[in-house]
Amino acid sequence: MSTTHWKDYTLTGGDAVADGGQPGWYTPALDRKTLKGLMKRSDRPALANYGLWIGLIIALGAVTVATWGSAWGIVWLLVYSAVHQSATARQHELGHGTPFRTRWINEMFFHFSSFITLSEGHYYRWRHARHHTHTIIVGKDPEIQSPRPPEIVSLLINLFNLKTVVLTARDFLRRAAGDLGQGRHFIPEGEQPKVIRAARIYLGLIALIVAACFVTGSLLPLLLTIGPRVIGAPLYALLHFTQHAGLDEDVHDHRLNSRTIYMNPVLRFLYANMNYHVEHHIFPMVPYYRLPELHALIKDQCPEPKHGLVDAYRDIVPTLLRQLKDPSYHLRPALPAAAVAAE
């Protein structure tokens, strides 16, 4: 593996771009009234979607418990975990506050999703806000998926969130002790006590789940709550990594650092339409259930979407391998001629 130094990706590194004089982000032409209509939130579609998701978790969890001790129990646990891990995509949308019009419903699902994905909500919300403000800007974005040159072994290990879970445990302990780590760079001072308090609550809840395992003499309390964070990780990891991997950095154009992929209805449900990732980053306040409509309106100003995961990874894998020797290399999606001419 190459040890070639490219850039310092930490928030305290010396490769961060200065704030002054940065250009604005590219915005496609879209009628203001139309955009305002797309941004309207509604409880009905979100309740139907989230109701189906919760219903599936309950049903699959019940089947897993009923068949536990047999080979079918393992099979159903895998299916349950894949659906359960959809909470990661849902937490993301809930963090934006866009799925539900009624705020308390949005917050209820947000903190529920945050706990079962071990991604504490207050911390996540501020970190992700920074990601949207400085998308793939080195030294500014704390959520860059694949710094260059890529750490291939680390990426493969994290297919099961093994690295993430270890780091999460470390971070919860640190935050519970009052150390916010890099969070001190993007969490307002007045919000920091909430993050510290939440870390302590999470550790307490995890201790209760472990205690339940001892009381029942079974691992099921752990496997059915936070276990899917590892067991159900591979599918979401493959979906999530396509968002930005192999694309450009330090550019103020989401068409060049984000990727939209056409997916089948099942994956779109599990992924909460985050396959429309260019559209989401350009207009992050459009609810996930309106992203297909937004895509139809601006697709002629954006690169051609990839047609499925296989198509996306045909680009991503060779790019990562090339970046091992040449960190400056990246994909550059072709922009429509009409869109280029209008810039």
Each residue of 115-147: pLDDT tens digit?
A: 999 999 999 999 999 999 999 999 999 999 889
Instruction: Give CA torsion, residues 281, 285, 290, 294, to 10 deg.
Output: -50
DSSP element (H, E) containing 306: strand 306-307
Residue 89 lies in a domain: yes
Residue 66 lies in a domain: yes
Return the residue matching tokens 């971070």: 171
Return the residue matching tokens 């710094």: 147
* 28 closest CA partner among 244, 262, 253: 253
* 315 closest CA partner among 328, 337, 332, 299: 332
- The pLDDT assigned to 338 comes to 62
Residue 330 lies in a domain: yes
**What residue type is assigned to position 141 of the chain?**
D
Give the count of domains, the chain: 1
Residue 28 lies in a domain: no
Residue 312 lies in a domain: yes
Parts of the chain with a pLDDT under 70: 1-4, 17-22, 338-343
Whole-angstrom distance, CA of residue 66 vs CA of residue 73: 8
> Would you give the distance in Å from CA 309 to the centre of its chain?
16
Residue 118 lies in a domain: yes
| Prediction pTM value | 0.92
CB 56 within 8 A of CB 50: no
Residue 33 lies in a domain: no
State which residues form the domain around 171.
38-342
Residue 26 lies in a domain: no
